[in-house]
Structure 1
């Protein structure tokens, strides 16, 4: 009877988790209580976030209880431990096949838990964890997953190391570490070695075509290129992740969001060699709250419109974050010659600490250091953007830079309660504004003067 009760609770928990993930509302209220009066804390969302965390905790406890006691019930929960399928976890033996076998069992079972136990270092070549699976599935990474650093192991797929493909109602957690061991890739990057050709490297962890997804309490470090990518997915919740790589590691975006709708990223610490969070084409209803960012290139929308493409992003809220020592703060960047739009965007309640370029809109972006961008008669339209309650220090004298298209100027850009100071004592921060429909509310420093 106790086992039946545990199993039923786990099933109920998974259902509730999926419901919460599908129905999380975008937070509209300010988050930094020290700057905005009556601001709710990160957990003050009507009990939703706290309930969600408690459900995750209860889910984990029930999984461990079932694993400990064993037995059967009318609604069996399958515990699939990779060590039972031949994984050694010694950091030297290739455990790829053991993980593949364990995944096949977990995915084809009823409700199941795929476990990579603690005190193990699993050496893995590229793996695709493919769905659809028979039922809800939980992946618990307690140990360390380490990437093969042999470039020849990536001949079949040079873009991915670990990828979850077409899995619905998936929960990934456990507190373990995913280590891309990216140094061999960085050394061969054209951005580090100008004699090398520019080639893409694998993304460490990819979620592709997933629905009702939760990623919680993981550490991802030293990715070959991007650390975590959410692609073509819907209803995603990410919280409590810690992402890190050296400041000079090339193209190592922390979290990359592409063509994904309804995604909430919260309570996470990201420090890399590129964007902490990058949001690109096809993404809609994206919320990032309580993000600690640095080092890196800040939080970016774009780039959009490369290669004269037509691209769209809308409904983005970055609320309650601290950005420290980064190249940029909050940024929208689009290539000249593209089309489409970036709209309905809010950057709110953000603290900048020694950030080189705190606030940027750049419609003339191009990733070419030697040659200037070519002028074009088309551009991605940027409109309805709010910068609100942003305070702190700029490492450069230009704290605000709006460089918009002459033919497609930025429209409905609002700056409300901005206070950015230049780190250099005795000098004031400046704002540069070209081709922008801009309005101010409250105390705004610096501001543009025509």
Structure 2
């Protein structure tokens, strides 16, 4: 009887995913972000740990040259062009406040221009094209008087002097915080100038102590946010961070960094709900997209990823924390030469859950670990306990219409906790073979699920 109830619950999950307009059942976290904790200077602790990550090193054949990013910029312009300032908007140009865009420090001019634009209703902050504006760490704070647009047509480049962060928040470079109805767009470039930071990373030079490094572009506690038509490159660490935000659209972004650059996640989402990530091309040295605790109702569509570590939910539960992620859909993605494809990663000893998740319509090429659930994730110099009494529960996950090639024999990896097994996992229409058509296998521990349609490699649960 217990088995019968279990099969009925899995069938109901499958039916909802395929018959209810793609929507997932409402989750009790619906108001979680409204009660999010105040701004914390240390939300990214796991990104600064030192680890000899040799298993994640890319081989020479997994190069960024797989994807030609440059032609995509003009294509994105054609598909989703940015309009000129409206007659009802007050135009505030940073050049009118003393910005030169000639390699000198323009931070003060940007701060003054922002104060003027933020106090106007409505307004557009203009960053001129064909200029390169050098900026030290800067915070663009709200609330603003009305809606506001930031039109970046030129290049914003971070200072290459690490001492400019002395006495500052070393985890951030450009920050937009507590602003409603904000649009940041314009076909320009945000250059984190990260090389000097990578060279001083303990992951690159293991004789150095592990220190914080800035995220290039951060949004905190913003509602009704649009980020589109920009290139973000060579961040000091993470490229884009969306934290404690509601109702977000990130589209037509090109995010790039060398495959060897440490911890350079493309788009990082935390404590955020109701977000769409669309039509983005991401190739970095870490996760193309990462979603951590408090992320709810997030959809990613038409994503190109590679090189990098794939699209990850997690890590969750680090330091025995309680994390919840729910209602996440990745629909339409292409992976090229990544170390992982779609991955859920949690630490032993944590609590909470990752549930109501769907990965579908995905093409993988030369991906080392195409499908992964890892409840024994350990990104630490010290050994992690192999089994603890608590873990982040992983349930109600659907993998549908995923095809392509695996760079390793094991194409399906489900390593789940003995005390909190993964359950209600569905595999439907999966075909993952070796790069040369070789057979592949799956590796399973403590997982309960079903398969539908043709599934290869054959499910190991």
- Shared fold per TM-score greater than 0.5: yes
From 22, 32, 36, give the equivalent of 1:28. Answer: 22
Work out whether residues 387 and 417 of structure 2, in 8 Å CA contact, stay in contact via their aligned partners in 1. no
Q: How far did residue 27 of structure 1 move? A: 7.6
Q: Which residue of 2 aligns with 1:366?
A: 378
Alignment match of 2:212 (pick from 200, 204, 216): 200
- 1:319 aligned to 312, 331, 343, which one? 331
String of CA shifts for 1:346-373, please: whole Å, max 9, x gaps: 0000000000000000001101367354
Match of 1:161 in 2: 173
Give the Cα–Cα distance (whole angstroms) in 2 for the partners of residues 405 and 339 of structure 1.
Answer: 12
| Pairs within 5 Å for 1:244-259 | 244-259=256-271
Structure 2 counterpart of 1:421, from 429, 433, 437: 433
Q: Is the 8 A contact 1:339 1:380 kept in 2?
A: yes
User: Are 1:299 and 2:311 counterparts?
Assistant: yes
Say if 1:363 and 1:380, in contact at 8 Å, map to a contact too: yes
Structure 2 CA distance for aligned equivalents of residues 220 and 191 of structure 1: 22
Distance between the aligned counterparts of 1:170 and 1:87, measured in 2?
22
Looking at structure 2, the residues matched to 352 and 110 of structure 1 have their Cα atoms a distance apart, in angstroms, of 47
* Residue of structure 2 equivalent to 1:138: 149
User: Matched residue of 1:60: which SS?
Assistant: coil
Unaligned runs of 5+ in 1: 1-25, 30-52, 67-75
Structure 1 position 229, deviation (Å):
0.3
The equivalent residue for 1:151 is 162
TM-aligned CA deviation for residue 108 of structure 1: 0.5
Q: Give, in whole Å, the separation in 1 of the partners of 2:311 and 2:153.
A: 29
User: 1:431 — aligned with what?
Assistant: 442
Following superposition, the deviation at residue 448 of structure 1 comes to 3.3
How many residues are aligned here? 388
- The match for 1:173 among 175, 185, 188 is 185
Deviations 1:368-412 (A, max 9, x none): 367354421110000000000000000000000000001100010
Alignment partners' CA distance in 2, 1:179 and 1:269: 16
Tell me if structure 2 keeps the 8 A contact 1:394–1:421: yes
- Paired residue for 1:211? 223
The answer for the alignment partner of 1:124 in structure 2 is 135
Contact 1:365 1:373 in 2 (8 A): no
- Cα distance 1:270–1:103, how it changes in 2: closer, same or farther (>3 A)? same
| TM-score where L is the length of structure 2 | 0.82
- Aligned mates of 1:389, 1:369 — CA distance in 2: 37
Q: Which residue of 1 aligns with 2:107?
A: 96
Partners of 1:238 and 1:358 lie apart in 2 by 25
Distance 1:295 1:54 in 2: 25
Contact 2:278 2:301 in 1 (8 A): yes
Measure the CA separation in 1 of the matches of 2:181 and 2:285: 32
Partner of 1:446: 457
Cα 1:192–1:242 change in 2 (3 A) is: same
> In 2, distance between residues paired with 1:103 and 1:302?
34
Q: SS in structure 2 opposite 1:241?
A: strand
Task: Give the C-alpha shift of residue 94 in structure 1.
Answer: 0.2
Q: Distance in 2 between matches of 1:329 and 1:184?
A: 29
Measure the CA separation in 2 of the matches of 1:336 and 1:423: 33
The superposition leaves residues 64-104 of structure 1 with CA deviations (integer Å, 9 ceiling, x where unpaired) of: xx4xxxxxxxxx521000001000101x2100000000000
Kept in 1, the 8 Å contact 2:85–2:124? The answer is no
The 2-side partners of 1:229 and 1:384 are apart by 27
Distance 1:54 1:392 in 2: 29
8 Å Cα contact 1:264-1:288 kept in structure 2:
yes
| Whole-angstrom CA distance in 2 between matches of 1:384 and 1:376 | 22
Paired with 2:259 and 2:223, the residues of 1 have a C-alpha distance of: 33
Write the distance in 1 (CA, Å) between the matches of 2:121 and 2:413: 54
Contact 2:451 2:459 in 1 (8 A): no
Is contact 1:366–1:373 with CA below 8 Å preserved after alignment? no
Task: Supply the distance in 2 between the matched residues of 1:320 and 1:449 (Cα, whole angstroms).
Answer: 25
Change (3 A) 1:325 1:369: farther
State the Cα RMSD in Å.
1.8
CA contact (8 A) 2:239 2:264 kept: yes
Match of 1:60 in 2: 83
Residue 301 of structure 2 aligns with which residue? 289
Deviation at 1:447, TM superposition (A): 2.1
Name which of structure 1's ranges 310-319 and 191-200 shifts more when overlaid on structure 2: 191-200
Kindly state the Cα deviation for residue 334 of structure 1 after the two structures are TM-superposed.
Answer: 0.2
- 1:415 CA drift (Å): 0.2
> Aligned match of 2:240 in 200, 203, 228?
228
- Provide the rounded CA distance (Å) in 2 between the counterparts of 1:154 and 1:274: 23
Q: Distance in 1 between matches of 2:182 and 2:128?
A: 18
